[in-house]
Structure 1
Amino acid sequence: MKKSNSTLKKWMRGVFASSLALTVAACSGGGQSEQTKPADNSGNQPAPSGGDAKPAEPEGDQKIIVYTARDKNIFEIVLPKFKEKYPNIEVETLEMGAQQILERVRAEKANPQADFWWGGTQSALSTAADEGLLEAYKPTFADKIPDLYKDPQDRWYGEMLLPEVIMYNSEALKPEEAPQDWDELVDPKFKDKIVIRNVLQSGTMRTIYSAMIYRQGPDTPEKGYEWLKKLDANTKEYTQDPTNLYLKLDRQEGVISLWNLQDVLIQSKQNNHPYDFIYPKSGAPILVDGVGLVKGAKNAEAAKKFYEFLFSPEIAAQLAKERYQFPSRTDISKDDLPDFMKNLDLKPLELDWSVMAQKEKEWMQHWDENIKGKGKK
């Protein structure tokens, strides 16, 4: 259901302006192995039917299998701390893209091999929930996650938020010289100053472009197509991957792009690229990266422990500081967050994500066949 912009704006501002703070294309990684063996079934608790009770303490040595779309630089923070708290629970991860996780969990429905799904868009997780692939579980922190970022039947919860923003080379442009909102991107003064990651291959870019169509009116995509034609006219190049995008921006072969905020911060603060961002005045598409328990998991009780630990304020605050993650929990103390998060108002664009999911393929195919590279003609 579409949320009113005023309600969301009020919630977002309250999170960052008060003592509470908010910390979601899916990320992908290289698989650790070709096949994950099923977890040992001896001594495991039976799969739960849901509910909000505190998870039972697993007895004896346990192993949980985690299918994840998160990056190793997240594991190196989370997994050692979890092992420290729960030395009898081993966590085995198998890395793949969120879409691959959906396909694998779907294929294993009759005999689940995974216990926990870590890292997926609201679209992928909602699809899995609708197909009966995720177990209902109401965690202890359920009331700390806004309704917009969790499943109403408790089958998945958003762990972090991924706002999509305007990125620019801070050595080439002053903040006031960069586009301040989406419509400024199509101003002729920015002609040949924009470089874009190849849209069809990027969940981030597909989301941004679909949002640009939606905001012009989802029932009349022609208006959105016209807007994208103007953006194409200002776009100097579409790069094959993020590495080439960064190279072009570093060389100032283009000085403006569109990207997710977390990665902009990682590239600038950790990797020393000369990047900064503008949070669009009218709001930004905000993706959710979430988690869920696999239905029929063989190690469900141990997986619940991991679930609760992953969302703990301690871990959420550390990932915010060290990995620039925006946590979905609204009860993280402002004092525990990095400075750039404390006063940033994550104003969302008013979008109907179900409509976006239904129309994305059609819209992006039209863009690819009729708009890409044709704006300058």
Structure 2
Amino acid sequence: MKKWVKWLSLGLVAALMIPLAACGGSTSKSDEKKKLVIYTGRDKNVVNTVISKFKQKYPDIEVEALTMGAQEILERVRGEKANPQADFWWGAPQTTLMTAAEEGLLESYKPGFADKIPANYKDAQHRWVGEMLLPEVIMYNSKALKKEEAPQDWDQLLDPKFKDKIVIRGVMQSGTMRMIYSSMIYRLGADQPQKGYEWLKKLDANTKEYTPNPTSLYLKLTRQEGTVSVWNLQDIMIQKELKKMPVDFIYPKSGAPILVDGVGIVKGAKNADAAKKFYEFLFEEQTASELSKKFYQIPTRTDLKKPDWLAGTELKPLNIDWAVMAKKEKEWMQYWDANIKNKGKK
């Protein structure tokens, strides 16, 4: 009798523990947050705003964003190919994304908004898509120089009066700068880059310093350690209007390289579902319109109107074959780094 009672008691305890254990495991799993890791070259104000709104819509997704230059992102994603650490790549010139796609670093995914993006602003295999148009222009300190005193076109950057007045964001680490410099070579003859190299050597002679990051570039311009630079229109407008820095831009008379700056999902992303949600959210009409109005983005979506702040500025493009640029950029920039950088003054 005692044995029977003992076995009955043990059986009841075991029976009670099974649902409790199951319940406990289920709760732990449901409470576990999903994760999304983003590598981005975007301005921190843009990043913080978008991620904050994304988290409101998807509170179950924990987002980690690491900011670095587009070229740095490419090299990092390359190095992590066997074991991807990022899920979403937010911000890079189309040439950089074209290279990444050809190297098998980006996942093919056709987002719901794909038909609203022109064919020349996206990859035919849906490995990347352009988020915004990014004209590359001349930047100057608006306290040190009047608008008419700043260089009005690319060749005026070589004028001796701007010697030691030019500061440049470190070229090799920056997708933006690599594209500007490659565009200068292309416009003078892609088949014979020597003319472009000579042009960059003269620019190097006028360049006082290459800064390690954009923040340092803005500070040096603000302190008038330099008064002229080249950079992208969106970031200049953010520094001017949101941060009240004394900077402004000249849209070059001969035209500007207009980059398609885009995004993509990293191949083999561990959190691909979260990456797709962020992808779609980033291009929603409300998100894209807000970024256009508040953060001076020029959206690639054809159904969105031209932003008011761009009124009066003609987006005259330099005629560039971006497929050629994607193919030649690495070669050209390696030559510049080895043979031109800091050698123009000698």
Q: TM tier, shorter chain?
A: 0.7 to 0.9
Distance 2:126 2:78 in 1: 19
- CA 1:344–1:312: 2 relative to 1, 3 Å: farther
**Equivalent pairs: percent with the same residue?**
69
Q: State yes or no: 1:348 paired with 2:320.
A: no
SS in 1 for 2:276: helix
Q: Structure 2 residue aligned with 1:231, among 203, 220, 224?
A: 203
Alignment match of 1:161 (pick from 117, 133, 139): 133
**What is the CA-CA distance between 1:72 and the residue it aligns to?**
4.1
**Contact 1:64 1:114 (C-alpha < 8 Å) held by counterparts:** no
CA contact (8 A) 2:158 2:203 kept: yes
Q: 1:181 aligns with which of 146, 149, 153?
A: 153
Closer, same or farther: CA 314–256 of 1 in aligned 2, 3 Å? same
Given that 1:62 and 1:302 are in contact with CA atoms closer than 8 Å, whether structure 2 keeps it comes out as: no
One of 231, 245, 248 as aligned partner of 1:273: 245
Q: Report whether the alignment pairs 1:249 with 2:217.
A: no
Change (3 A) 1:134 1:248: closer
2:36: which partner in 1?
A: 65
Alignment of 1:228-377 (within 5 A): 228-295=200-267, 297=269, 300-334=272-306, 337=307, 339-377=308-346
Equivalent residue number for residue 172 of structure 1: 144
Counterpart AA for 2:108 = A
Deviations 1:186-237 (A, max 9, x none): 2334334323233334333222111111110011111112222332333344
- Over 3 Å counting, the alpha-carbon distance change for 1:362 and 1:102 in structure 2 is closer
Mapped contact 2:39–2:86 kept (Cα < 8 A): no
- Give the Cα–Cα distance (whole angstroms) in 1 for the partners of residues 300 and 75 of structure 2: 26
Higher mean displacement: 345-354 or 165-174: 345-354
Aligned-residue offset at 1:275: 0.8
Structure 2: stretches of 5+ with no match in the other structure = 1-25
Query: Quick one: distance in 1 between partners of 2:98 and 2:252?
Result: 27
Partner of 1:92: 63
Displacement of 1:167 after TM fit? 0.5
Q: State the structure with bigger RCO (CA 8 A, min sep 6), 1 or 2.
A: 1
Q: Which has the larger radius of gyration?
A: 2
Partner Cα distance (1:175, 1:371) in 2: 30
Q: Cα offset for 1:257?
A: 1.1
Q: Deviations over 1:328-348 (max 9, x none)?
A: 2222234xx3x3224433222
Separation of aligned partners in 1, 2:304 and 2:31:
33
| Amino acid corresponding to residue 319 of structure 1 in structure 2 | L
TM-score calculated relative to the size of structure 2: 0.78
Match of 2:162 in 1: 190
How far apart, CA to CA, are the structure 2 residues paired with 1:192 and 1:112? 42
Determine if contact 2:72/2:173 at 8 Å carries over to the other structure.
no
Deviation for aligned residue 1:109: 5.5
- Which deviations, in whole Å up to 9, do the C-alpha atoms of 1:236-282 show, x marking residues without a partner? 44444434433432333432111122221122212222111001122
Matched with 1:7 is none
Is this contact kept in 2: 1:65–1:113, CA < 8 A?
Answer: no
Which blocks of at least 5 consecutive residues in structure 1 are unaligned? 1-41, 43-58
Question: Normalized against structure 1, the TM-score is what?
Answer: 0.72
Q: How many residues end up aligned between the 2 structures?
A: 316
Q: 1:167/1:107 Cα in 2 relative to 1: closer, same or farther (>3 Å)? A: closer
Name the one with the larger helix percent.
Answer: 2
Structure-1 separation of matches of 2:114 and 2:127: 11
CA RMSD of aligned residues (A): 3.1
Q: Which amino acid aligns with 1:213?
A: I
Match of 2:107 in 1: 135
**Is contact 1:250-1:273 (8 Å) kept?**
yes
